[in-house]
Amino acid sequence: MVIVVDLIVAFVLVLIFSDRRTRNCRWREDRTLDAGDGRAYRCMTCGAIDHTTTGRPPKDCKAGTETL
């Protein structure tokens, strides 16, 4: 019984803390497109390209837009 309750709690926590804006995005750094002090990232799911200066992948899905 305790295991079932733990699984339900874990599932609810995953739903609460998951980031829905990038759920389907799989950002990978593309060093061939780097420019200046920022880094370029390409989404392996939709093919979108984005450039960030934080050194981290984008937070939002850019499907349908190619910004660099």
DSSP bridge pairs for 46: none
Contact 30, 49 (CB under 8 A): yes
pLDDT (tens digit, 0 to 9) for every residue of the chain, 68 residues total?
A: 889 999 999 999 887 776 665 567 788 888 888 777 788 888 888 888 888 888 888 877 776 555 44
- Strand residue runs (E) in 1-68: 27-29, 39-43, 49-52
Region of residue 56 (phi > 0: left; psi between -120 and 50: alpha; otherwise: beta): beta
Residues in the chain: 68
pLDDT at 19: 61
- Could you state, in order of their start, the residue ranges of all structural domains in the chain? 25-53
